[in-house]
Chain A
Amino acid sequence: MESDCRNVAALISDFVDGSLGPREQALVASHIEGCERCRREVERTREIVARLDSLGGNRAPLYLWPCVARRIDERRTRRSLSSRFRIMPGWRMVLIPAAAAAAVAFFLLGPMHPAGPKLPQSPAAVAQASAELSAYMQAYSQFRSAQPLSDRAAIAAAAHLEREDAPPR
């Protein structure tokens, strides 16, 4: 009887759903007729299922579409702006020299860290390093004015912006 109860317990959920095969359905039905404990389990399960069913079917408190549409618009605008900033040539032109200057500054000031390279030993070496930095910045600046769209990403960005700004046909 105990093993019957264990077997039936595993089938109770499907029995309540009516999703057992005919033979198993009949087996459980027959068992619970004579077994008070399993019958109670079936009744409890039915009540649980009824209570759960009563939690469903909630109606949304308002018509969601206008709010959803507004969010879609906002997100589109945000995506468009962020994509422009990400590829805008001018933005890159600020960042690249800044990164180069930072790299040179790190090279010069690196010895402040105990493990870093040594400072130029003589005033002449410092002057030479400064001159190299100035020359680099000057060259970059000339290069930037002469060929502002010379790298691939910048060209792609310009094409993208042109397409977006083109008047509709």
Chain B
Amino acid sequence: MTGCSDEAIVERVKSGETDAFGLLVQKYQDRVYSTILNYVNSVEEATDLAQEAFVKAFFALKRFQGSSAFYTWLYRIAVNTAIDYLRKRPAVRIDSLEDDRFREAGFEPAAGRSADPEHALALKEQKQLVRDAIAALSEKLRTALILHDVEGLSQEEVADILNCPVGTVKSRVSRARSELRVALEGYLDGG
């Protein structure tokens, strides 16, 4: 049953077999959740929005023509759900990543880093700071970066999801990385 292709499951759902949609949820819930989490930075909100994205996908399924892969279509819904939510949510943008915030989180400059027993905790907090730096990017750069560098989708897949040329994705990813390099200046091994 779980070996069914996405297209076959989609057809079953379209023909009224609602429970078959559960197979798609099971298959893609981690990817949808993970993508949304990287937008909203909150487990609770990401769980809620992931559910919402699947509900939207379910009701929109009758309009899904299969011109793109189901999962890229689903990613598109997930990304739009997260972006719509962020547009409505009071802004929590990080305008600048002050040195003090980095140090408080144990994000030491690479030169002064040591094998501290608290390193694991610091690492977790550092991840949060990278997430904050991502949150400070523009919507377009952030989306390309999350899909390509965080979720590991190919440039072609990202282009399909965003409905734009591959060259645009390359350029956005490159600019996003460049902005992150500047934002995290002094805290990277290469610095």
| Interface residues, chain A, with chain B CB atoms under 8 Å away | 10, 12-14, 19, 40-49, 51-65, 67-69, 71-72, 75
Interface residue stretch chosen among B46-54, B68-76, B89-97, B114-122: B46-54
Q: Is B3's CB within 8 Å of the partner chain A? A: no
* Contact B150 A55, beta carbon cutoff 8 Å: yes
* Contact A55 B127, beta carbon cutoff 8 Å: yes
* Contact A41 B34, beta carbon cutoff 8 Å: no
- For the complex formed, measure the closest distance between the CB of B30 and the CB atoms of chain A, giving whole angstroms: 5
How many Å lie between the Cα of A19 and that of B156 in the bound state? 12
Q: Mark B136-157, 1 if CB is under 8 A from A, else 0.
A: 0000000001000111100100
How many Å lie between the Cα of A54 and that of B59 in the bound state? 33
| Interface residues, chain B, with chain A CB atoms under 8 Å away | 18-19, 21-22, 25-26, 29-30, 32-34, 37-38, 43, 47, 50-52, 54-55, 58-59, 126-127, 130-131, 134, 145, 149-152, 155, 170, 173-174, 177-178, 180-181, 184, 188-191
How many Å lie between the Cα of A71 and that of B54 in the bound state? 10
Q: Which of A13, A44, A47 contacts B174, CB < 8 Å?
A: A13
* Contact B149 A64, beta carbon cutoff 8 Å: no
Interface centre among A12, A13, A41, A55 (most CB of B within 10 A): A55
* Chief secondary structure at chain A's binding surface: helix
Q: Assuming the A-B contacts A49-B177, A53-B152, A60-B29, are A72 and B55 also in contact, with contact meaning beta carbons closer than 8 angstroms in the complex?
A: yes
Q: Which of A12, A54, A65 contacts B25, CB < 8 Å?
A: A65
- For the complex formed, measure the closest distance between the CB of A58 and the CB atoms of chain B, giving whole angstroms: 4
Chain A, residue nearest B127 (CB): A55
What are 7 A-B pairs at a CB distance below 8 A?
A: A19-B155, A43-B189, A48-B184, A48-B188, A49-B149, A59-B34, A71-B51
How many Å lie between the Cα of A23 and that of B40 in the bound state? 41
- Top 10 A-B residue pairs of the complex, sorted by shortest distance between their CB atoms: A43-B190, A13-B174, A44-B190, A60-B33, A58-B34, A52-B149, A65-B22, A56-B150, A65-B25, A68-B54
Q: Assuming the A-B contacts A45-B181, A53-B149, are A68 and B191 also in contact, with contact meaning beta carbons closer than 8 angstroms in the complex?
A: no
* Contact B145 A52, beta carbon cutoff 8 Å: yes
- For the complex formed, measure the closest distance between the CB of B175 and the CB atoms of chain A, giving whole angstroms: 9
How many Å lie between the Cα of A61 and that of B29 in the bound state? 10
Chain A, residue nearest B189 (CB): A47
